[in-house]
Amino acid sequence: MPETRAAIEAAIAVTGLTKRFGDVAAVDGLSFSVASGEIFGLLGPNGAGKTTTIQLLLGLTTPTAGDVRVLGLSMPSDRLAILQRVNFSSAYISLPSNLTVRQNLRVFAGLYGVRRPQAKIDALLELFEVSDSAGRPTGALSSGQLTRVNLCKAFLNDPEVLFLDEPTASLDPDIADKVRTALQKLQRERGVTIVYTSHNMREVEVLCDRVLFLAHGRAVADGSPSEVLARARSDSLEDVFIAIAREKTPAEPER
């Protein structure tokens, strides 16, 4: 719905965002926006700056330069107000391993001030098909189960914007498909804006309304998957990805 997109304030607006770690510019003058209700794919090779961008959007790390607005609020000055309305999950977050899945989720539900936490937790466990693991310590779960528990945690506060860093990375194809379906359902029913990273280009084609390819912290292609394909004169995002990954950046120093 391109005509309504302009009328609604962007859920996320990033201008000139830069993050340096010593000599490395992990994110290098990045500008983009994400419309409300969109599923937005942040793509690119390992080390492109995807995780750092998500951390900057969440205020987990401070930018070297640039401006981040989420839901019309400024990061970092409105950080707490933003964090109440967003959530995130990463394949690499660890939950206290001696607590059970349910205990872990109850702790987060308490932190988020969830009303009727029991019902909420049960519904999310069901949605992501991990009800069977509710009584087990998180330390005893497979990485796929842990990923799904992290997704339950990410939806506890009914976030308006959700940041997912490689949510399907450790899932088998069947469970990955179920997670995609659950994410689409939550997007359709609640209009959640989702920013997510993945290396699975087929999944990205199915799920994303819009994508942004990063290389060396810079935007190198963006648009709807079909726009990106048309511009690259390609019929597969996988080929676009490989071409981007193999491109040498002009700014790369001579050795």
Ligand X SMILES: Nc1ncnc2c1ncn2[C@@H]1O[C@H](COP(=O)(O)OP(=O)(O)O)[C@@H](O)[C@H]1O
Binding footprint of ligand X on the chain (CB under 6 A): 21, 24, 26, 44, 46-52
How many Cα atoms occupy the beta-carbon half-sphere of 75 within 13 Å?
A: 29
- DSSP secondary structure, 145-195, as one string: HHHHHHHHHHHTT--SEEEEESTTTTS-HHHHHHHHHHHHHHHHHH--EEE
Residues 217-236 that bind Mg ion (CB under 5 A): none
124 binds, among ligand X, Mg ion, none (CB under 5 to 8 A by kind): none
Which residue from 219, 172, 176 is spatially nearest to 43, judged by alpha carbons? 219
Give the tokens for residue 205.
């084609």
Which CB atom, from 58 or from 109, has the smaller least distance to Mg ion? 58
Helix H or strand E segment including 150: helix 143-155
21 binds, among ligand X, Mg ion, none (CB under 5 to 8 A by kind): ligand X
Which CB atom, from 30 or from 34, has the smaller least distance to ligand X? 30
Q: State the Cα–Cα distance between residues 213 and 44, nearest whole angstrom.
A: 5
Minimal distance in Å, beta carbon 47 to ligand X? 4
Pattern of binders to Mg ion over 44-63, x per CB under 5 A?
Answer: ------xx------------
Residues making up the chain, counted from first to last: 255
81 binds, among ligand X, Mg ion, none (CB under 5 to 8 A by kind): none
52 binds, among ligand X, Mg ion, none (CB under 5 to 8 A by kind): ligand X
90 binds Mg ion (CB under 5 A): no
The residues binding Mg ion (CB under 5 A) are: 50-51
